[in-house]
Amino acid sequence: MGNLIMSLTSKTILRAGAMASALIVTVPAHAALLDFNFAGPSGTAVFQLDSNATPDFAKTVIAGSDQFGFYNVAGTFGGINGTASTISFGTGIIATLNIVAPNLGFTQFSGSSSPLFSGTANNPTFNTGTFTLKNPFFGNGTLTVSKAAPPVPEPATWALLILGFGAIGATMRSRRDRKSTTVSYA
């Protein structure tokens, strides 16, 4: 009877431990990370944003013409890694895409073939696809928005995973090797 109680208690502890570790590892869902790849006559720009990132600013310039944007966006601009001071998107008479970045200058394009985002300027959700953007003075540009590849786990993450599996294996092995002893008083 004592072994049965001990066995049930150990199983309960293991289950509780497994549930606790699952809760610790659980990460809340977030928007998908998107790659933005722009190529135009003024140069190239490659950067990433969440599909429904919260903008640093949003404003309505004229009724039906909204603009929102992000400050200090890291990426590759004009072939050199750096930070764009501002990247903004717009609708209506506002430019569809503005990029202010070193090695690229001020890049402004309008008239995409389809909308770059849905929702409002305060709560946009980016669309994926290839968009043709126009600038009457410089020529056309192309913006491709696609889902980013999932990140590769760091070596420390792999080490912790292997260590955890090893600990589980050692625990299971030590449980198997234990011999039960019964004492009876006659």
User: What mean pLDDT is reported for the chain?
Assistant: 78
Helices (H), the chain: 2-25, 155-177
Does the pTM exceed 0.75?
no
| C-alpha–C-alpha distance, residues 113 and 124, integer Å | 18
- Whether pLDDT at 5 is above 50: no
Q: Which is higher by pLDDT, 59 or 153?
A: 59
**Long-range CB contact pairs, 37-40, < 8 A, 24+:** 37/143, 37/144, 37/145, 37/146, 38/97, 38/99, 38/107, 38/141, 38/142, 38/143, 38/144, 39/141, 39/142, 40/107, 40/109, 40/133, 40/135, 40/138, 40/139, 40/140, 40/141, 40/142
pLDDT tens per residue across span 109-120: 777 667 888 888
Q: Look at residue 37 and tell me whether its pLDDT is greater than 70.
A: yes
**If pLDDT is split at 50, 70 and 90, which confidence band does 8 have?**
very low
Which band of pLDDT confidence, cut at 50, 70 and 90, is reported for residue 6? Answer: very low
The percentage of the chain sitting over the pLDDT mark of 90, rounded to a whole number, equals 23
Confidence of residue 23 (pLDDT cuts 50, 70, 90): very low
Q: What are the pLDDT digits (tens) for 139-156?
A: 788 899 999 887 777 788
Domain borders along the chain are 33-147
